[in-house]
Structure 1
Amino acid sequence: MRRMSLEKQFLELLTHQKRYSEHTVRSYEKDLEMFNVFLSNEHLTFDTFQFQDARNFLSFLYDQGLKKSSVSRKISCLRSFYNYLIRNGHIEKNPFLNVPFPKEEQHLPDFLFENQINELLESLDKNSKMYTRNRAILELFYATGIRSEELLTLTLDRIDLKMGIIKVTGKGKKDRLVPLNEHATDAINEYVEIFKDKIIEHDALWLNHNLRPLTDRGLRYVVNDLMKKSAIQTGLHPHALRHTFATHMLNSGADIRAVQELLGHESLSTTQKYTHLSREQLRREYLNAHPSNRRDD
């Protein structure tokens, strides 16, 4: 019982003090549940688990067929959980402190081409009750590259439609100003005019079909559903629109440090992955377009 109580306290801390997204907290909760299964199988408790048990735990995770990215997240979750236990005097050492993260496979992020963005916007059902919301969400994602949690925490007082700018709270509760283009400004303005009363009532910019605040899970469902209906590759998530923003900005000649600032990246290396993607796209365009590549030997 003590373990469950501490876990719940840890998740409450992530939710209310650290302001982790609903999706992340839910993932951490599942990570802790899996850790409990391992402890039970090995007849261990969280305070008897030692660094030397970590290798068996990693084997346990890989036996579940998990990807390296999932294993990394579980290590990160448990490292944070044990730091929480240390701060509260429940244990003295963190057995996950020196557990290495698995090396992840390098892959390019998902993104949409410009014609796909146009197809996506043109495919929106104008007769839908939530048409203006859907259009505003897509235009805002594409215009700014903000994260899902940043979009969901926007309120009316953080949007200046006349100046074309929004105030976003990013990771580490750091605020940054992000400009809007005319398409996003017009779309948000049209949406707010229709739903302003409910937006003010809930003090939340984004509403679901029942006119209550849109959740992280609801947002992912909305974006994925819109992509399915547009016949664009399914399985893409809101973050793909962030990747699209970054890729298109760099392809159009934007300074990488400006893109870093707009995305709210702490490290320039995080932004640089989009230059790799841009070069790969350039190579594909070259191979497809240059006459020599179609010439017989």
Structure 2
Amino acid sequence: MMAEAARQEWLGWLAGERRAAALTVETYGRDIAGFLGFLTRHAGGEPSLPDLAGLSVADFRAWMAAEAAEDHGNATRAKKLSAVRSFLRYVEREHGVANSAIGLVASPRARKPLPRALTAVDARLITTDIGEVSDMAAIQARDTALFTLLYGCGLRISEALGLQRGEAPLPGSDAPLRVLGKGSKTRIVPVLPIVREVMARWITLHWQPAPEAPLFLGARGKRMDPAIAQLALRNFRRLNGLPEHATPHALRHSFATHLLAQGADLRAIQELLGHASLSTTQRYTAVDTAQLMDVWRRAHPKG
């Protein structure tokens, strides 16, 4: 049996037995057709099922290299390799033709997207004017305190909302903030005076006096939901024409990017963010370089 006939049979099985969506069947069919087309060129003839069984790791790697040469990224090649694995599993199950080499082929690792930071102007605008989204003084003070804390200390939204009232960094103290981060790891973060000032205004309007009460409360007195913070910032960015990537987490990215731009040490930024690996923090160097090149292209007379 020829591999193309098995492909058609497999696509029929996906549509009929598995009830896969038409677009899924079309995509899988196109991916496997491309794979078989490569094998035809690679081996000098249309492949049969025994030919599929005889493919080596080197053959699969040659196909992946050809895909890379076509400017297909890691994510795309990983998706196509997944389709090939699925097709070969079907061939083995239905026709008893197995290929052992496919299990030794590693999937390309998708590159993590670079963090998307805000400009310093946009980040400051959020911290000073976020309260305009609400007409309630307490909500205005709460949101100002929350977003100033995110940008001023580089916290994750979950870390900020996990704080208790008794942990609020207030004026009159220079004690750092103890933050419980990922993996239940605690880190120490210094707090800017402006963060203490806006936090004090919020605490005067905080409607639960117990130290163990959540620092940031929702309208019903429970711990504030991250979705509420995201909604507030979404409404604010639309009112003020900010980019769509202006999210609570973008303030954390902005904290790191702006520190780096001002000459902060990468190791220090790693500690402040609570990254387990320096390689995670090093992504911000790429962001800084990209922004520098963008400024250069726009400002240079030959740009």
Q: TM-score range by the shorter chain?
A: 0.5 to 0.7
Q: 2:181 aligns with which of 146, 170, 178?
A: 170
Structure 2 residue runs of 5 or longer lacking an equivalent are: 1-13, 19-23, 29-73, 80-103
Percent sequence identity over matched residues? 29
Quick one: distance in 2 between partners of 1:101 and 1:278? 30
Q: Name which of structure 1's ranges 246-255 and 116-125 shifts more when overlaid on structure 2.
A: 116-125
The aligned residue for residue 132 of structure 1 is 141
Establish whether residue 112 from structure 1 lines up as the match of residue 118 from structure 2: yes
Quick one: distance in 1 between partners of 2:75 and 2:221? 39
Quick one: distance in 1 between partners of 2:160 and 2:107? 30
Can you list the C-alpha shifts for 1:85-117, whole angstroms capped at 9, x where unaligned?
A: xxxxxxxxxxxxx99665224532221101112
Which residue identity lines up with residue 158 of structure 1 in the other structure?
A: E
Is the 8 Å Cα contact of residues 158 and 168 (structure 1) preserved in structure 2?
no
Quick one: distance in 2 between partners of 1:99 and 1:188? 53
The aligned residue for residue 289 of structure 2 is 279
Q: Name which of structure 1's ranges 142-151 and 226-235 shifts more when overlaid on structure 2.
A: 226-235
Which of these two proteins has the greater Rg computed from alpha carbons? 2
Is the 8 Å Cα contact of residues 151 and 254 (structure 2) preserved in structure 1?
yes
Alpha-carbon shift at residue 200 of structure 1 (Å): 2.7
Alpha-carbon shift at residue 158 of structure 1 (Å): 2.7
Q: Name which of structure 1's ranges 109-118 and 254-263 shifts more when overlaid on structure 2.
A: 109-118
Aligned residue pairs: how many? 210
Structure 1 residue runs of 5 or longer lacking an equivalent are: 1-37, 43-58, 73-97
Quick one: distance in 2 between partners of 1:211 and 1:134? 15
Distance 1:289 1:272, change over 3 A: same
Quick one: distance in 2 between partners of 1:100 and 1:241? 35
The aligned residue for residue 154 of structure 2 is 145
Q: TM-score, normalised by structure 2?
A: 0.60
The aligned residue for residue 155 of structure 1 is 164
Is the 8 Å Cα contact of residues 161 and 226 (structure 2) preserved in structure 1?
yes
The aligned residue for residue 249 of structure 2 is 239
Is the 8 Å Cα contact of residues 118 and 246 (structure 2) preserved in structure 1?
no
The aligned residue for residue 252 of structure 1 is 262
Quick one: distance in 2 between partners of 1:212 and 1:167? 22
Within 5 Å, give how 1:1-297 maps onto structure 2: 103-124=109-130, 125=132, 127-129=135-137, 130-161=139-170, 162-195=173-206, 197-198=207-208, 200=210, 203-290=213-300, 292-293=301-302
RMSD: 3.3
Quick one: distance in 2 between partners of 1:132 and 1:139? 11
Quick one: distance in 2 between partners of 1:284 and 1:191? 39
1:279 aligned counterpart, secondary structure = helix
Is the 8 Å Cα contact of residues 147 and 242 (structure 1) preserved in structure 2?
yes
Q: TM-score, normalised by structure 1?
A: 0.61
